[in-house]
Structure 1
């Protein structure tokens, strides 16, 4: 950047004479303070900066600026040279004060050493300051109760966020909504019912990370970014599943009270790790199998495409949940006990509910059958039972990865909600 003014004379340690800043016609109303401030940075407290300039209001603006920034201003003797200036055009002299230095004397960096600067427990006083910034004292403390790295972090988070950002897709372009297909009425109604169920679950999957976002200390910005993209993923899934449900002009399917009650238990879990466990590891982990099932048995190209796209997104959500819990489990031996208690607590709360909407189960059978005859319906029913077994096996694998013994993993997986999510 090239300055519009010039500084001459001696600087610190270069001689006894004061340094002179020549502003020409530039006034404070057009940025002269930037050049004054820059010139003062080269001086020590007590040293003097002479300021020359042609703007008539310069002495007035200098007086106000110096008072605000803690510097002493010395104006020429009114009886001196013409226009209230010295022989060499100097209009004022500034004695460097300590105020600008003292402002940052007790400041601290919002982060640790190294490129990442991540710390285990960021100060509440850092608030919304960027990680690594020099934080002036006296600002407001942020309302962030999730301010412990082990409670929210996973080392894979930056990579997952970069991947998530690169894999965003536009529903209007990624899906050929005009693809020709014709389905029997019963099959179309089955698709609509499954889409209705998916929208309901995706709405819960959006609310959970959205609620957690506002509680996480911004120091862990990659977690905020990843959860924000996760919420955007779910919003996009809600859009495409709704759009497919209404594609042929019909109405949405049914929503069971038991299904909504099951999802409500996800919304009331306040602990970040437990919420991630119930939603991402168990719920969305099971949904990976469901989306693969729907892609495999989709009766039309639109259903096949949107379930494939959603499954790719959900895989990232599951990956973060598993990585976070695995990493936290290495430093918190009591975590597994709390995870088990969360599963049992949710199971007990849902004991008297009906579980999976019967209309959804039957619709999955119809989609897997592909035909309306006893043999096909039997195959479709067996395929849905196999899907539930596949979900159970996937939950057990993830639980074992988190450190649960195989028998305990099987027991906890069996307690997972019958509503699948």
Structure 2
């Protein structure tokens, strides 16, 4: 190996095959004004070396009394290239700055950034808006917890007793509804991801995994709906209107609040309900797997907003306004698809007897109460007093998400 600063013999190696790497390494071993003699057998070495030296700001000379030998004197110009350079924070989470400049762009956190280059359009660029200390741990957990629909679910599993056709239709209707809602839950983090400054890479990674989770949920719910060849269920105008308000929210914190804290938080109870009352093992399994994923999404949403509200106590006013604004926008819609409500009652009932239907109806009412209780608990964690948390929970969309 060549010792930096020593005479450099390139042998037959030319610049078109990487000789510049050895020359550059040799020059780094001497101070400005220091000299390195380069020898080589490539016929074009002198031409290429002269051009390279001029471009990098070094002095070039031919050694007159020696064949194919050239002298390089390290110049200051290459050092000037990095004058004014800055570090983009430090690599780990402790090195995050409050507001990374747009000029840092896609550079890795901790990289030495050469001056110049374009500004980028990442508009979610403030730590207090996007960061949560839990984000790195949640991402590590999420990455380790990814599952493959082809292997995590036994799609050939059969129930102990055949599922009646009308109960199967109820499952299909609920799956159709879940697909619709999970597609909204996919689009929202994907849209936010594209706006987050890459300096907050753990948040980007977490949003990317969240979108991947939702894409997987769409897949398994669609596959379960079509498992026995029946047609998909219905999609209500009120349900789509409710989800449209999520897509229309541009603020990162408010979108996270409405989707993850309230919507997906309510879905935790719904997925638990489906796992408990599923008439077949496939439905129970996919409800369980999706619930584990959704719990992570809710945890990030709550952690993010807890972090932000600690910095800005006025945030709660904005959260309240977001709930009220969404409620006012949906006040004239029908809310939850009636076909979905009926399907949930039938699944909880398990049969068509009047006593079973009454029992199923009561269990769906218990589901509503469980959703409300979970929302109130999460709102309390964000600093809302109990009476206000109860009031705001009651204003949440009847579509659940």
Please give the range of the TM-score, normalised by the shorter of the 2 chains. Answer: over 0.9
Pairs within 5 Å for 1:174-323: 174-181=152-159, 182-323=162-303
Does 1:33 find its partner at 2:20?
yes
| 1: CA distance, partners of 2:91 / 2:143 | 27
| 1: CA distance, partners of 2:380 / 2:78 | 57
Q: Deviations over 1:77-123 (max 9, x none)?
A: 4xxx4xxxx1xx56111111112111111110011487742111111
| 2: CA distance, partners of 1:197 / 1:25 | 69
Pairs within 5 Å for 1:32-181: 32-77=19-64, 81=65, 86=66, 89=67, 91-112=69-90, 116-181=94-159
| 1: CA distance, partners of 2:45 / 2:93 | 43
Higher Rg of the two aligned structures: 1
Which residue does the alignment assign to 2:343? 363
Q: Deviations over 1:130-185 (max 9, x none)?
A: 00000101011111000101101100000000000111000010101111242111
Q: Look up the SS of the partner of 1:49 in the other structure.
A: strand
User: Does the CA contact (< 8 Å) of 1:21 and 1:52 recur in 2?
Assistant: yes
User: Does the CA contact (< 8 Å) of 2:46 and 2:68 recur in 1?
Assistant: no
User: Does the CA contact (< 8 Å) of 2:89 and 2:109 recur in 1?
Assistant: yes
1:42 deviates by 1.6
| 2: CA distance, partners of 1:296 / 1:114 | 42
| 2: CA distance, partners of 1:362 / 1:302 | 21
Which residue does the alignment assign to 1:14? none
Which residue does the alignment assign to 1:328? 308
| 2: CA distance, partners of 1:322 / 1:223 | 14
User: Does the CA contact (< 8 Å) of 1:23 and 1:54 recur in 2?
Assistant: yes
Q: Deviations over 1:26-84 (max 9, x none)?
A: 2212211111100111222222211112222110110111111111111134xxx4xxx
Q: Which segment is superposed worse, 270-279 or 62-71?
A: 62-71
Q: Look up the SS of the partner of 1:219 in the other structure.
A: coil
| 1: CA distance, partners of 2:344 / 2:170 | 7
1:25 deviates by 2.1
User: Does the CA contact (< 8 Å) of 1:50 and 1:90 recur in 2?
Assistant: no
User: Does the CA contact (< 8 Å) of 1:193 and 1:254 recur in 2?
Assistant: yes
User: Does the CA contact (< 8 Å) of 1:70 and 1:97 recur in 2?
Assistant: yes
- Number of equivalenced pairs: 399
User: Does the CA contact (< 8 Å) of 2:41 and 2:68 recur in 1?
Assistant: no
| 1: CA distance, partners of 2:7 / 2:63 | 14
- TM-score w.r.t. the length of structure 1 is 0.93
| 1: CA distance, partners of 2:206 / 2:186 | 13
User: Does the CA contact (< 8 Å) of 1:7 and 1:22 recur in 2?
Assistant: no
Structure 1 residues 246 and 133: CA distance shift in structure 2, 3 A: same
| 2: CA distance, partners of 1:398 / 1:27 | 66
Runs (4+) off by over 4 Å: 112-115
Structure 1 residues 120 and 194: CA distance shift in structure 2, 3 A: same
Within the candidate set 323, 331, 336, 1:351 is matched to 331
Q: Look up the SS of the partner of 1:218 in the other structure.
A: coil
Q: Deviations over 1:330-388 (max 9, x none)?
A: 00111000000000000000010001100000000000000110000000001001100
Unaligned runs of 5+ in 2: none
User: Does the CA contact (< 8 Å) of 2:99 and 2:127 recur in 1?
Assistant: yes
| 2: CA distance, partners of 1:52 / 1:362 | 85
| 2: CA distance, partners of 1:180 / 1:360 | 24
| 2: CA distance, partners of 1:251 / 1:280 | 30
User: Does the CA contact (< 8 Å) of 2:123 and 2:195 recur in 1?
Assistant: yes
| 1: CA distance, partners of 2:351 / 2:357 | 7
Q: Look up the SS of the partner of 2:209 in the other structure.
A: helix
Unaligned runs of 5+ in 1: 12-18
Pairs within 5 Å for 1:402-417: 402-417=382-397
